[in-house]
Amino acid sequence: MTDSLTSSQALPGRRERNKQRVRNHLYASAIKLITVKGYEHTSVDEIAEEADVARGTFFNHFQRKEDLITMWGARRRVRLKHGLETTEADPPECLQSMLERCVDVLCEINEEERDVTRAMLMAWVKAGRPLQEEPFASEIFANMIGLAQKRGEIPEGVDSLRVGLLLRDAYLGTLYRWSQDQDGERDLRTELNAVCAITLHGIKPRSQERCPAQ
Do 95 and 153 touch, CB atoms closer than 8 A? Answer: yes
Distances (CA, A) of 90 to 85, 86, 93, 98, 135: 11, 11, 7, 12, 27
Domain boundaries of the chain, sorted by first residue: 14-61, 67-200
Contacts of 144 (CB under 8 A, 6+ apart): 95, 98, 99, 102
- 67-200 CATH pick, 1.10.357.10, 1.10.1740.10, 3.40.50.720, 3.40.50.300: 1.10.357.10
In words, the CATH class of domain 14-61 is mainly alpha
Task: Please write the tens of the pLDDT for every residue from 34-85.
Answer: 999 999 999 999 999 999 999 999 999 999 999 999 999 999 999 999 999 9
Q: Residue 91, preceding bond cis, omega within 30 degrees?
A: yes
pLDDT, one tens digit for every residue, the chain (214 residues): 445 445 445 567 888 889 999 999 999 999 999 999 999 999 999 999 999 999 999 999 999 999 999 999 999 999 999 999 988 877 778 999 999 999 999 999 999 999 999 999 999 999 999 888 889 999 999 999 999 999 999 999 999 999 999 999 999 999 999 999 888 788 999 999 999 999 988 876 655 445 444 4
Q: Which of 7, 52, 10 is nearest to 28 (CA)?
A: 52
pTM of the model as a whole: 0.85
For the chain, give the number of residues: 214
Q: Which of 108, 51, 46 is nearest to 83 (CA)?
A: 108
